[in-house]
């Protein structure tokens, strides 16, 4: 499958051949959903915590005598039903990670790339490089290409000027090809790959 290559200035830069094994799959939403859920679970801090009754700094003496008061029997004031007591079944610090086979993760990335191509939201540029680290100049170039919400994926080494210029543009992310992932692909409207990124991805899934 061939796709037109453009420059950041919007000029024609030839064509590139895309591998059907990487960009030509029929996207499956269930695989993409599993991958996004796995990524978000790994990102979740899991530091939420409430104190149980064993962690409350309060006397453990019996509150009142067992019989004769007409009240329900009670012992420690640390119990959850009393004000200032510990929380019953509260959140504890833990990892939210869960397993997902490596082959499924690799397949999900190919499905995400294929989904962008199928939706005509994939753009290939010859090189992600800027002459100077000026946000205003880069914003003008992106407006010409009609890009207001996009993920840019360059080669293994990102051009520093382009990276700095794109930092302050809202809804624009820049990643090296090693950092490409399903969640970032799907959360942005357009996916912009450099020719070196396309070559690296096809080599990766050869």
**Residues 167-183: pLDDT tens digits?**
989 999 999 999 999 99
**Of the residues 34, 64, 90, which one is the last residue of a structural domain?**
90
| Tokens encoding 152 | 């840019």
* Residue pair 32/123 in contact by the 8 Å Cβ criterion: no
**Residues 55-105: pLDDT tens digits?**
999 988 999 999 999 999 999 999 999 999 999 999 999 999 999 999 999
Assess whether 185 and 111 both reside in one domain: yes
**Whether residue 3 has pLDDT greater than 90:** no
Assess whether 111 and 190 both reside in one domain: yes
**Of the residues 90, 121, 155, which one is the last residue of a structural domain?**
90
**Residues 137-162: pLDDT tens digits?**
899 888 888 888 999 999 888 989 99
pTM, entire model: 0.83
Q: What is the CATH number of the domain that holds 112?
A: 3.40.1370.10
Assess whether 102 and 197 both reside in one domain: yes
Q: Which domain holds residue 104?
A: 2-45+98-204
**Whether residue 206 has pLDDT greater than 90:** no
Assess whether 131 and 114 both reside in one domain: yes
Assess whether 112 and 172 both reside in one domain: yes
Assess whether 68 and 39 both reside in one domain: no
| CA–CA distance, 34 with 108 (Å, rounded to integer) | 8
Q: Provide the pLDDT confidence category of residue 1 given band limits of 50, 70 and 90.
A: confident
Assess whether 36 and 70 both reside in one domain: no
Map 58-126 to HEC letters: CCCCCCCCCCCCCCCCCCCCCCCCCCCCCCCCCCCCCCCCCCCCHHHHHHHHHHHHHHHHHCCCEEEEC
**Of the residues 90, 116, 149, which one is the last residue of a structural domain?**
90
Assess whether 82 and 113 both reside in one domain: no
Number of domains comprising the chain: 2
Assess whether 177 and 155 both reside in one domain: yes
Nearest to 40 by CA among 91, 79, 97, 115: 97
Residue 16 pairs with which residues in a beta bridge?
3
Assess whether 31 and 80 both reside in one domain: no
Assess whether 114 and 183 both reside in one domain: yes
């Amino acid at each position: 499958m061939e796709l037109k290559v453009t420059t950041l200035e919007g000029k024609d830069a030839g064509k590139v051949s895309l591998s059907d094994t990487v960009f030509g799959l029929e996207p499956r939403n269930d695989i993409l959903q599993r991958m996004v859920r796995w990524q978000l679970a790994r990102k979740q801090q899991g530091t939420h915590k409430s104190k149980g009754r064993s962690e409350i700094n309060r006397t453990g003496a019996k509150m009142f005598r067992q019989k004769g008061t007409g009240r329900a029997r009670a012992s420690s004031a640390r119990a959850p039903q009393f004000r200032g007591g510990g929380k019953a079944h509260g959140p504890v610090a833990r990892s939210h990670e869960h397993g997902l086979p490596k082959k499924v993760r690799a397949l999900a990335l190919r499905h995400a790339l294929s989904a962008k191509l199928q939706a005509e939201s994939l753009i290939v540029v010859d090189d992600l490089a800027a002459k100077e680290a000026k946000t205003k100049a880069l914003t003008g170039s992106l407006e010409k290409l009609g890009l207001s919400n996009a993920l840019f994926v360059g080669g293994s080494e990102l051009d520093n000027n382009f990276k700095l210029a794109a930092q302050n543009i809202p809804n624009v992310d820049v990643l090296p090809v090693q950092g490409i992932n399903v969640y970032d692909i799907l959360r942005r409207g357009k996916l912009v790959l450099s020719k070196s990124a396309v070559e690296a991805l096809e080599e990766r899934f050869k």
